[in-house]
Amino acid sequence: MKDRLEDIGIAELTDRQLEQLCEMGERAARAYILSKIPRKHISTLNITIDTQGSKPVTVNVEIEIELSQSMKGFNVDELAKQATEKAFDAAKQYLRELSCKSAK
């Protein structure tokens, strides 16, 4: 299911709101990954979140994870997929909060 900005009922987002949206998503993805894998077992962790447009806004999430040799059998693709979902969930929650504030 795709949520569009108009469906959530938000006016056009400012640059600051778009920046906060990306930060919220990045924090959620990073927190999820670090809750599953100790930092010492992560060789590379790059999380990129960007937006296109401001009404409707399109959010893109890219996660690159490389684990140490000791984590060889761990399913990195599934971890990245779940972390991406957490980033999108955080972005949607942020947009809903903005919607509630703009309705007041």
Confidence of residue 85 (pLDDT cuts 50, 70, 90): very high
Report the CATH number at residue 64. Answer: 3.30.300.100
- Stated pTM of the model: 0.84
**Would 60 be classed as within a structural domain?**
yes
Domain residues for 53?
Answer: 5-99
Question: Does residue 72 sit within a domain?
Answer: yes
| Residue 86: pLDDT over 90 | yes
Confidence of residue 61 (pLDDT cuts 50, 70, 90): very high
**21-40 pLDDT tens trace:** 999 999 999 999 999 999 99
Indicate whether 104 belongs to any domain.
no
- Here the contacts of 26-32 (C-beta below 8 Å, separation 24 or greater) are 26/87, 27/90, 28/86, 28/87, 28/89, 28/90, 29/61, 29/63, 29/83, 29/84, 29/86, 29/87, 29/90, 30/83, 31/86, 32/82, 32/83, 32/86
